[in-house]
Amino acid sequence: MNKNEKLLIIPLGGLGEIGKNMTVFRYGDDIIIVDSGLAFPEEDMLGIDLVIPDMSYLFDNKDKIKAVVLTHGHEDHIGSLFYLLRQVDVPVYGSRLTLGLVEGRLKEYAVSDRNLIPVGPGDAITLGQFEVGFIRVNHSIADALAVYLKTPLGTVVHTGDFKLDQTPVDGQIIDIHKFAELGNQGVLVLLSDSTNAEREGYTKSERTVSEALDEHFSSAKGRIILTTFASNVSRLQQAINSACEYGRKVALLGRSMVTVITKATELGYMTIPEGVLIGVDEIGRYPENQILILTTGSQGEPMAALSRLASRSHRSLELAPGDTVLIAANPIPGNERSVGRTIDALLRLGIHVVYERSSGIHVSGHGSQEELKLILNLVRPKFLIPVHGEHRMLKQHGKLATEIGIPKENVFIGENGHVFEFTAETGRFAGKVTAGKIFVDGLGVGDVGNIVIRDRRQLSKDGVLIVVVTLDKARGCILDGPDIVSRGFVYVRDSDALIDESRKIVKSVLERFENQPITEWAPLKAGIREALGKYLFAKTGRRPMILPIIMDL
Amino acid sequence: MNKNEKLLIIPLGGLGEIGKNMTVFRYGDDIIIVDSGLAFPEEDMLGIDLVIPDMSYLFDNKDKIKAVVLTHGHEDHIGSLFYLLRQVDVPVYGSRLTLGLVEGRLKEYAVSDRNLIPVGPGDAITLGQFEVGFIRVNHSIADALAVYLKTPLGTVVHTGDFKLDQTPVDGQIIDIHKFAELGNQGVLVLLSDSTNAEREGYTKSERTVSEALDEHFSSAKGRIILTTFASNVSRLQQAINSACEYGRKVALLGRSMVTVITKATELGYMTIPEGVLIGVDEIGRYPENQILILTTGSQGEPMAALSRLASRSHRSLELAPGDTVLIAANPIPGNERSVGRTIDALLRLGIHVVYERSSGIHVSGHGSQEELKLILNLVRPKFLIPVHGEHRMLKQHGKLATEIGIPKENVFIGENGHVFEFTAETGRFAGKVTAGKIFVDGLGVGDVGNIVIRDRRQLSKDGVLIVVVTLDKARGCILDGPDIVSRGFVYVRDSDALIDESRKIVKSVLERFENQPITEWAPLKAGIREALGKYLFAKTGRRPMILPIIMDL
């Protein structure tokens, strides 16, 4: 051990926002990456499909990377792995279900999955100067792990996403003994999930959902349609258990529902008795009170199965009065309206919809304040870095830490790209590395930036108006045009007068330049944009993007 | 009274959605309109500024309209009046504060305000065959009224927006005696506010906010910045009272804050002791613990004062650690993310932010389940039309009504445009009239429809690519071009190869048409769109709008 060596912890995602979790641990020339997630675009990121972390720091230090370690199989923890692995050839460690889900995603991007190495709770491996170990935690997906990293300077614990479920559906409770043991041995830094840091008390056990489900299964007279996150294997297992108990067959709707359940069953994370699963085309063969349909669309996503059912535009199924829809998920912030619209549309069809938070058919996958404090008390870290949360949640998590006795100066509330540097005794903020959002749009990763987004924003507001004119460059006179084409600006058929007048305005600008050889187009184009912009705004109150195009002969 | 005359109730807004409230009451040849509101656009209504009700039914029956009656001064009840009054010259009745706010809005649209007639609680006027009376209610704006309409067939009561505040700040409690009196005399139809029909219990009194505010005012060491809806005059009055008590001067930030407080003070709905109000430029002259700033932006609106303060881009004020921001409003569904971003940005500046629902500095303006049932029990209507709410809220309201003994078949859950027809004994659904959303975009009302919005949606996702070529029409050969211009598609400087190849593809399409006189452009343009669309999607995974423009000589 080099006396001067420091431990660096660099979050490239997960701070100050939900999604795209990624944390870099560096000791000397060894780098371990925990998680490689994605985020879904916010409403102002027009046309963007996915958002992934800027990985420049990793690409600049390719040769140092020893491994990627995954905590669980949610998209916000595995979804940008394809991008990392395209450029860096390193082993990826994770639980079997996590890797099963990763495999599917890598295949979509044609990235090899030969580097995937399964690990389980209790396992520990040596990666360069790190010893990396895995701890079972409870979360809204099976097979979730926390990670600890032992270094010559001390031990770091990263909880991943977790809650303390004392009565989990699969019987696999979070390994609180391991957290206690590590705490007894001494932990230098804890990185812990802050999602529910604003929520008082304890998060309820997934098992409480069973009771609520049974109630609805025992009273429903028609078909039951249940929607939740496809990745919530425990929830789906409970629904299937209820179905078996009440003599209902189970059909799956939606691609990700089929993918995840197939994978989870294959790997032994779900058990579906033979003869229970039926095809969507077989639904009609059974009485309505013998049917459970598991479907995607719990977030009101317009293209998902539930939304299509609600708008009566699903290819192979139609809902009817007498059916019961159970929405076993809360809207993620930003999705409230679309979820509300889906519920309204279902109710209009005369369908019974269960959706209230109070209905008990959904519980969070993240620990609340008491659980966060329990982990803090078990692990007793010298330093805390709250992760996985918006800034106010990180702050609140930090407050909880000071309440249980961690000095305020030992809590680091940071931003993505911040470098936290530790010795065996000290911790400090030590500058920044490149970090940020990379947009994925179609096949392009990172080629859409602020300029393109800004243009899309203008186009989305008031559309575009194109002016084309063919000029005789030598004499500066018009040979053809000006022609005007617009989209997204006004309804063209009702706007003849406006377009005619626009044409006249362009002509009068061109006249200013007439009878002289034109050496550059810029002033002419600027003149058109200005005169036309002024006129159109006065007439319509709108500012379309004006694109003058000049052809010359 | 003609024995065959029916009473028609036609909601043109307010059913199945929040915003743009408008209800039509027709008896014989007399029409009374209650409220004329607007809604703010949803996220998929690109570029739209406001959404107002389709008023075709009213414009087709202009000569029958006797009056517009306003319940209160919120935008979702008065915001489309300008559009109605532009076409129909009728008197407008409302309370003084309501009309004060209407005046300002009409002025903006250059619509005359000569028809505004103030009324107050207890007043009753005869309008055609209707007797229209006004009842005081509590709401999150002062001077809110319920309306009753007596007709030869029976009495209709429309609550407007209301809650039961037993200890209102202005001492003016909802007139429960009048509701009781009408109930005793017999009410045919009740239209009642459904906003909080999903919320159990009672809505808290606005007065409880005072206590919560006092707590923060007594502990804050620096400046206090409070944000709420500018129209919430009671809330603002309480903040000013606290300011006076704790020796703070008050400055106003944001146009609507200044407008509403000026109007409310002028009309006597607010009392601000002399010397308390100061200009924003005077803030620096006082110690920080002697300042309260009232500001707009409680919904995280990007252009509002609070967002500008949070992003340090406000013209005349900068916040600093030690300041306290009180967010005395809950996010309206759909605004959670933007409010969250504003809070995070403020916290990053080291500012103390109070925002939780549990902080007590906000209460709803709408009655919860117990209040809705109380009104139902007081009024004892034969029929109920739940209004002002999304479909699931209307349904829940209907359920409450059946719980207190109204037969299920006497509850009408409708959609905008539905015609409900009543005799003294019966009520039924009697068909539909035109109803829907009219988009306001800039100066245009109704000129932007689905085609324009669809184009904006495509433009917003993948941008636009324009192909211009000058052809010799007679010989079908290229004289100039093809030139390619794109916006919002790819970053042009990094896309030379893509654009070059696109140009080649266009040329090869044009070659197919060469050496023959071209009689129509459509097949040529379709050919370009198809070939280029296929190529660009294969290369980028995006589908920009492709606009081929052909000039000919």
Is A193 one of the catalytic residues?
Answer: yes
> Do the chains contact at B442 and A480, CB–CB below 8 Å?
no
Average pLDDT of chain A, as a whole number: 92
Report the distance separating Cα A89 and Cα A23, nearest Å. Answer: 18
Which residue ranges of A are tagged as binding site? 47, 49, 72, 74, 76-77, 139, 161, 230-232, 362-366, 388, 441
**pLDDT less than 70: residues of chain B:** 1-3
A299, A261 Cβ separation under 8 angstroms: no
AA identity, residue B191 = L
Identify the band that residue A171 occupies on the pLDDT scale cut at 50, 70 and 90: confident
Catalytic residue among A143, A193, A323, A462: A193
Chain A residue numbers with beta carbons less than 8 Å from the beta carbon of B449 are: 491
pLDDT at B3: 62
Which CATH number, 3.30.360.10, 3.30.230.10, 3.40.50.10710, 3.40.367.20, labels domain A205-352? 3.40.50.10710
Rg (CA), chain A: 29
> Do the chains contact at B42 and A461, CB–CB below 8 Å?
no
- As beta bridge partners, residue A469 has A550
What is the arithmetic mean of pLDDT over A359-371?
Answer: 92
In this structure, the dihedral spanned by the alpha carbons of residues B280, B286, B287 and B288, taken in order and rounded to 10 degrees, is: -10
Compare all CA atoms of chain A with the CA of B355 and give the residue at the minimum distance: A392
What is the arithmetic mean of pLDDT over A399-415?
Answer: 96
Report the distance separating Cα B249 and Cα B228, nearest Å. Answer: 18
CA proximity to A254, closest of A347, A324, A317: A317
Which range has the worst mean pLDDT, A86-95, A432-441, A518-527, B386-395?
A518-527
Cis peptide before B482 (omega within 30 of 0): yes
Chain B residue numbers with beta carbons less than 8 Å from the beta carbon of A485 are: 547, 549
> Do the chains contact at A344 and B16, CB–CB below 8 Å?
yes
The secondary structure element, H or E, covering residue A135 is strand A130-137
Give A259: exposed, middle or buried? Use CB within 10 Å, 0-12, 13-18, 19+.
middle
In angstroms, the first-to-last Cα distance of chain A is: 74
Q: Is A312 left (phi over 0), alpha (psi -120 to 50) or beta?
A: left
pLDDT at A230: 87
Chain A residue numbers with beta carbons less than 8 Å from the beta carbon of B459 are: 456, 459-460, 463-464, 487-488
Nearest to B452 among A443, A456, A491 (CB): A491
CA proximity to A249, closest of A218, A295, A212, A285: A285
B225, B319 Cβ separation under 8 angstroms: yes
pTM of the full structure = 0.88
Q: Report the SS3 class of residue B455.
A: helix
How many residue contacts between A and B have a Cβ separation below 8 Å? 202
**Token digits of residue A207:** 């098992």
CATH code given to domain A449-550: 3.10.20.580
Nearest to A553 among B453, B464, B470 (CB): B470
Cβ atoms within 10 Å, residue B279: 11
**Token digits of residue B433:** 């009239």
Predicted ipTM? 0.85
**Token digits of residue A366:** 């993240």
B440, B49 Cβ separation under 8 angstroms: yes
Give the burial string for A310-326 (b: 16+ CB within 10 Å, else e): beeebeebebeeebbbb
> Do the chains contact at A333 and B356, CB–CB below 8 Å?
no
In percent, the amount of chain A with pLDDT more than 90 equals: 74
Chain B residue numbers with beta carbons less than 8 Å from the beta carbon of A460 are: 46-47, 456-457, 459-460
Nearest C-alpha of chain A: how many angstroms from B384?
18
Report the distance separating Cα A211 and Cα A223, nearest Å. Answer: 19
pLDDT at B371: 96
Span A271-319, pLDDT tens digits: 999 999 999 999 999 999 999 999 999 888 888 899 999 999 998 899 9
Question: What angle (nearest 5°) sits at the alpha carbon of residue A273, between those of residues A268 and A276?
Answer: 125
Fold adopted by B5-199+362-441: Metallo-beta-lactamase; Chain A (3.60.15)
The secondary structure element, H or E, covering residue A255 is helix A255-266
In percent, the amount of chain A with pLDDT more than 70 equals: 99
pLDDT at B472: 82
Cβ atoms within 10 Å, residue A287: 10
- As beta bridge partners, residue A422 has A7, A427
Nearest C-alpha of chain A: how many angstroms from B216?
19
pLDDT at A545: 96
pLDDT at B110: 87
Residue A87 has pLDDT above 80, yes or no: yes
Alpha carbons within 13 A on the beta-carbon side of B477: 3
B131 touches chain A (CB under 8 A): no
By annotation, the residues of B acting in catalysis are 193, 366
Q: Report the SS3 class of residue A186.
A: coil
Nearest to A333 among B340, B452, B485 (CB): B340
Which residue ranges of B are tagged as binding site? 47, 49, 72, 74, 76-77, 139, 161, 230-232, 362-366, 388, 441
Nearest C-alpha of chain B: how many angstroms from A143?
30
A488 touches chain B (CB under 8 A): yes
pLDDT at A540: 93
Report the distance separating Cα B137 and Cα B161, nearest Å. Answer: 8
pLDDT at A1: 52
pLDDT at A113: 86
Compare all CA atoms of chain A with the CA of B351 and give the residue at the minimum distance: A392
Span A226-273, pLDDT tens digits: 999 888 888 999 999 999 999 999 999 998 899 889 988 998 889 999
Distances (CA, A) of A426 to A3, A188, A409, A429: 14, 9, 11, 11
Q: Report the SS3 class of residue B108.
A: helix
Chain B residue numbers with beta carbons less than 8 Å from the beta carbon of A483 are: 549, 551
Identify the band that residue A190 occupies on the pLDDT scale cut at 50, 70 and 90: very high
Which residue ranges of B are tagged as binding site for Zn(2+)? 72, 74, 76-77, 139, 161, 388
pLDDT at B1: 52
Q: Which of A42, A330, A348, A392 to mutate to test the interface with B (most CBs of B within 10 A)?
A: A392
Span A119-170, pLDDT tens digits: 999 999 999 999 999 999 999 898 999 999 999 999 999 999 999 999 988 8
A48, A55 Cβ separation under 8 angstroms: no
Residue A472 has pLDDT above 90, yes or no: no
Distances (CA, A) of A530 to A457, A470, A517, A546, A549: 20, 20, 22, 9, 14
pLDDT at B82: 94
> Do the chains contact at B542 and A353, CB–CB below 8 Å?
no
Give A184: exposed, middle or buried? Use CB within 10 Å, 0-12, 13-18, 19+.
exposed
Nearest to A451 among B43, B444, B491 (CB): B491
A452 touches chain B (CB under 8 A): yes
B414, B385 Cβ separation under 8 angstroms: yes
Q: Higher model confidence: residue A414 or residue B17?
A: A414
Cβ atoms within 10 Å, residue B255: 12
Cβ within 8 Å of A, B 385-424: 390-392, 395
Q: Which of B200, B368, B390, B464 to mutate to test the interface with A (most CBs of A within 10 A)?
A: B464
Domain with CATH 3.60.15.10 in chain A: 5-199+362-441
Report the distance separating Cα B318 and Cα B377, nearest Å. Answer: 52
